[in-house]
Every structure is written in structure tokens, then in C-alpha cells.
A = this chain, B = another copy of it.
Amino acid sequence: MNEVAKRAGVSIATVSRVLNNSQSVNEETRLKILKAIKDLKYQPSRVAKRLRSKSGSSNLLGVLVPDIQNPFYVDVLRGIEDIAYKNNYAIIMCNFGQDEKKEAMYLNILESEAIDGLIAAPANENDHPLKKIVKNGLPVVCVDRGLKDVDVDIVWVNNEAGAHSAVEHLIRAGYRRIAHIAGLASIPSSILREQGYRKALSENNIAYNPDLVKWGDSTYESGLNLAEQLLKMQPAPDALFTGNNLITLGALEAIHRKKLIIPNDIAIIGFDDMHWANSLNPPLSAVRQPAYEIGKRAVELLIQRISDPQRATIQMTLSTDLMIRSSC
């Protein structure tokens, strides 16, 4: 910047002014400076900028996701990245893999990187480190999961209704022994989906059988193992409602290993659609979350909040779609 100023014969203050086109600067000198910038291929340092002018124009967002191996979060991330890019924001991506220690460490890093804002899917509703960050005044938008006792923007779907519609569809199709493989019990969405499952059963006068509900940890392996347990039962369930897409894929593997035919021997429908659902065996029914849009909306809300920290918080509930294919 010094060199630019020298070359244009002005002070660095003036250079800064044309860079941010703040205040008025003479058209003639402004052109001189622009030319000098081009000649020297000058690129302002985002680091220095961020250091000087606390939040606001440093254009860096933090993103904290629980599991980047989950295609759902990949799509959310795509939505975030797309919109962030369009608004000239870069993103620091942190993947904490449901490890709260790792999450806390990443939150520390993000804070000390002086990000402008954060999009996070909290480890659980009481996520202490994250709550502290919100209270400290950093603009935050939660996705997929809420945060208790704290006023914060949220973008998520109606998990209970989504689960309800899936299970109801199974019931209408004639299934009665419907098992559920739930995700990690500490994640709000797992609980809500299980509630939707139960509600659909009770509304249809089907007794709730606790043996048919297995709680796991939202991974492929848990889907595989718990499905194997369920399939061993006598009598076995006739349908499976799985809590997320990794669980679904794991359960699918278990079913294939037992050489069962879907949906004759057992039906299956899960939360989270996948782009390649049509190519699975069989084409898989699913509760589709608008993942890309969740990411997109989250960034929009975040950018709004950054520019107006006072605006009232918004809870945006997007709706799910029941994608019926051949698995139930």
C-alpha cells in the first residue's frame, strides 16, 4: 500500500479511501491511484484489514458442521459456499465429527480469527461454548439444530412432521411392525424425529413397542449394527424408518447381507434424500430436506444480521418432501 501511495504521489490514507470508496476523493487522483494499483498488482491484505476494523468488512465466515461425510451437510455446505461466494465472503470450514472437545477448540480458533459471523450446527441444545459465543455478540445462525435459552437465528425443517409423514405413509401401505433406528439422542433432531414416529403410530392406534426403537449415534456403522439386531428379532419388523441418510445406507447394507427383498420382506424409508437415490437398490423412498436451501437461507440471514445486529431473531422452518420411490 505504501508503494502504491508513493507511486501515485499521495498518502496511504487516500489510497485506503479509494479502495473502500469512502468519502470523496478527486477524480483525477483516484484514477492515478487506480492505475498505480494495477501497475503494481497490489492486493490489499485481508489480515490487516480484519485486524484494524473489527467485524464488518473483513468478509470471512465460519462454518461448523458435525460431519462432512454426511451428504446432507455437504449439500448445506454447497448452499453456504455458493451464496457466500456471491457476497464476497470466504469461509473457514470446521468439521467436528460430533466430538465436543474438537468443537470447542474450533470455536476458539474461529473466535480468534475474528470472523464476521458463524453458521453452526451445534453439538447439542445446551452447547455451552457456542452459547457463550452468541452472548459475546458474534452474529450466529444455527442450522439443523437449535440452541436452548438463547436467542439466535435458526434455519431448519420440521423434523417431527417429516418423520410423521414418512411413518404414516408406511402405515397406509399396510405395514404394522415398524421399527425405528434413531440418531444420537443428544441431537435435537433425533428426538423430534422419534416423536414424529411415535405420534404417527399412536394416531393410527398402533401400540408403541420400545423394542422396535434403537438409538444409535447417527453413523453408517450404527445403521448397520442396529439394523442387524432388528432383523434378528422374532417376529422381525416389516418396515424400517431410519433417522438419517448414513443410518439408512448402513441399514440397507444389513438388509442386503441378509438377502432380504425390499419392500416384500422389509420396507425402508429414511430421513434425508440423496441425489443418487434412484440408483440404489431399490430406488429409495426418503424424507427430503432442502439441504442446499438451508445453507443458502442461513447465509442470507447471517449477512443480514452482520449488517444489522439488532434485528429480531428469525426461526425459519423449511418444509420436507416425501419422496416415494420403490422401497415402501
A263 at the interface (CB under 8 A from B): no
A220 at the interface (CB under 8 A from B): yes
Instruction: Give the residues in chain B near A95, CB-CB below 8 Å.
Output: 78, 81
A174 at the interface (CB under 8 A from B): no
Within A130-160, which residues are at the interface with B (CB < 8 Å)? none
A24 at the interface (CB under 8 A from B): no
B90 touches A106 (CB 8 A): yes
Secondary structure at the A interface, as helix, strand, loop or mixed, is: helix
B90 touches A109 (CB 8 A): yes
Of all chain B residues, the one with the shortest Cβ separation from A73 is: B74
A47 touches B51 (CB 8 A): yes
B112 touches A46 (CB 8 A): yes
Q: How far is the CA of A253 from the CA of B141 in the complex (A)?
A: 36
Proximity bits, A102-145, B CB within 8 Å = 1, else 0: 10001011111110000000000000000000000000000000
A252 at the interface (CB under 8 A from B): yes
B252 touches A109 (CB 8 A): no
Of all chain B residues, the one with the shortest Cβ separation from A62 is: B90
Q: Of B43, B94, B276, which is within 8 A of A90 by CB?
A: B94
A50 at the interface (CB under 8 A from B): yes
Instruction: Give the residues in chain B near A112, CB-CB below 8 Å.
Output: 43-47
A91 at the interface (CB under 8 A from B): yes
Q: Of B48, B78, B90, B282, which is within 8 A of A92 by CB?
A: B90
Distance from A276 Cβ to chain B, minimum over Cβ atoms (Å): 5
B278 touches A280 (CB 8 A): no
Instruction: Give the residues in chain B near A282, CB-CB below 8 Å.
Output: 281
A256 at the interface (CB under 8 A from B): yes
Distance from A45 Cβ to chain B, minimum over Cβ atoms (Å): 5
Distance from A59 Cβ to chain B, minimum over Cβ atoms (Å): 8
Distance from A293 Cβ to chain B, minimum over Cβ atoms (Å): 15
A69 at the interface (CB under 8 A from B): yes
A181 at the interface (CB under 8 A from B): no
Instruction: Give the residues in chain B near A75, CB-CB below 8 Å.
Output: 69
With A69-B78, A256-B278 known, 18 other A-B pairs at CB within 8 A are A43-B111, A45-B51, A47-B47, A47-B50, A47-B114, A68-B81, A78-B95, A90-B92, A90-B109, A91-B93, A249-B275, A249-B276, A256-B279, A256-B283, A276-B280, A279-B280, A280-B280, A281-B283
Q: Which 10 A-B pairs have the closest CB atoms?
A: A281-B281, A93-B93, A252-B279, A249-B276, A46-B112, A47-B114, A90-B109, A47-B51, A43-B112, A81-B95
